[in-house]
Structure 1
Amino acid sequence: MAQIPVFRMRRAVVHGLLGGYTLIAILPVLLIIMNSFKDRKAIFNHPLAPPGPATFSLIGYETVLKQGDFLSYFQNSLIVTVGSLFFILLFGAMASFALTEYRFRGNVFLGLFLALGVMVPIRLGTIGILEMMAKSGLVNSLFALILVYTAQGLPLACFVLSEFMRTVSADLKNAGRVDGLSEYVVFFRLVLPLVRPAMATVAIFSMIPIWNDLWFPLILAPAEGTKTITLGTQVFIGQFVTNWNAVLAALTLSLTPALILYLIFSRQLIRGLTAGAVK
């Protein structure tokens, strides 16, 4: 019983640190949003001031909606991100369950192989990936991006989820097997609900690089019909002239899904990050 205040103190410290980091991270976001509602002159003359009656302007949003196909870019990014997260969480959770639950030859080697994917960036294989996608006829398709991002996110998913899978009670799983439940039912009905905080953590940390990525959309899907929102924003950035009103407005609109996802899974995210700190 004497340890309970210590646990609460540790949790309070972790929550305080996360709150401080969140405040530091959200200040640039607020700056982008404020400047997206100002005219070009006010952006450069008073970048830290909120928009007022004399500086308020929607010219950036009007340009974004009129020039280019922003809604199509937004839809492509949403399809790629949601599809990638679905496969990352599904295959990552299934692989983690197999690695932690079953003992077989090569178990340790396979776990180390997946862990190497966290340290080795997938962009080193860009040329090989491009050649493979070209031979498969998947260039300029959203499915190519989903495949690449799934491969990119699986190592982190397996690394995080494996640790949480080991904390699930073996008695609970064995009781389900004694009752006649199949391995799939044990996995989906007994194990997955207990690792939701970890899955929310993986989803948020995997979504941000996918949503904001410019490299693979530029290499694998540069066509007008498959452009993502990050690649589509480059329309407003020229070699000599940049439409900062449109760029800031596009960035503000592109931030919306990330903020919504964070608000939805924030509680699960904090639980996932603080789980190891309060044991």
Structure 2
Amino acid sequence: MPSLRFFCGLLITLLWPLQALAQECTLQFDGRIDADLTAADFNDANDIFSNQFVIGQGLAFSQALRLLPAAAGSLFDIEGGLEPVQVLISDDSIFNNQLAFRRAELIPASNDGADASTQGVKTLHFSVLKDLQRPLNLSHEYQLVFLESADFSTNQFVLKTGTILGQDTADPDTLQLFGNVNDGQLLFSTAFTPGVFHNFALLLDFDASTTQVFFSTANDDLVQVTEALQNDLSGQGQFHFGVLKKPVNGVGDITQNGDQPDGINEGIIFGGVFQEDSSDGCMSLTANVE
């Protein structure tokens, strides 16, 4: 006859997904934007995103960000009346003298590269939406979300779209989530459908070096789309949310060499950026808190 321990374990297993759906988790950082803020508020120090990185030399964040009405929000924005944000690049989006890149990215204000966001077990949430007024040039590779190690030697994961350098990209209009770029493992991919948010939750176990992907579109609840996959997450670092456009025809150091067109006016819309502490198994899969 099965033991009491067996039945208790079975009950916990059955209830855990329900708990994850309904529970409010402890936040490590929150990049969701209140409706009373403006893009100009991000020119100065604030408790949401860094006002120093990553922006073109001589530009202010108010020139690279547009806040959208709360009604246009993503899965984890709507209930709180929070605003999605457009991140824009132009010909002037040259950061740190990287002449062949065009970049504008948001980094959480508390994420200094050695903080607790890259320790223990965390769930990173973000939603991405095409900017139909400022479409990307899919002959280029774009990095939209990534974790860059503290020593700048690698990205422990990166969400890309467009024509991936060094690969035969069957459909550039695809969101491709890669693990540590030193290994090149593709963790998950999905069509980048216009008109809907694509919602991601990455369960990052920095102790076990695993990454598990949860995904949905529009306002649907997140669902598991991968198992916990081995992926080297060591090196701590900072999370980036934005547009990093790589050149074509690059040779050697592609931060300096390669072609970018003139007249760049491109963007991506982000919503629902936050990170939860999942050390106790807590993870938000729906915006509805019971």
TM-score (ref. length: structure 2): 0.23
Q: Report which structure shows greater RCO (CA 8 Å, sep ≥6).
A: 1
TM-score (ref. length: structure 1): 0.23
Q: Which structure has the highest strand share of the two?
A: 2
Q: Which structure has the highest helix share of the two?
A: 1
Larger-Rg structure: 1
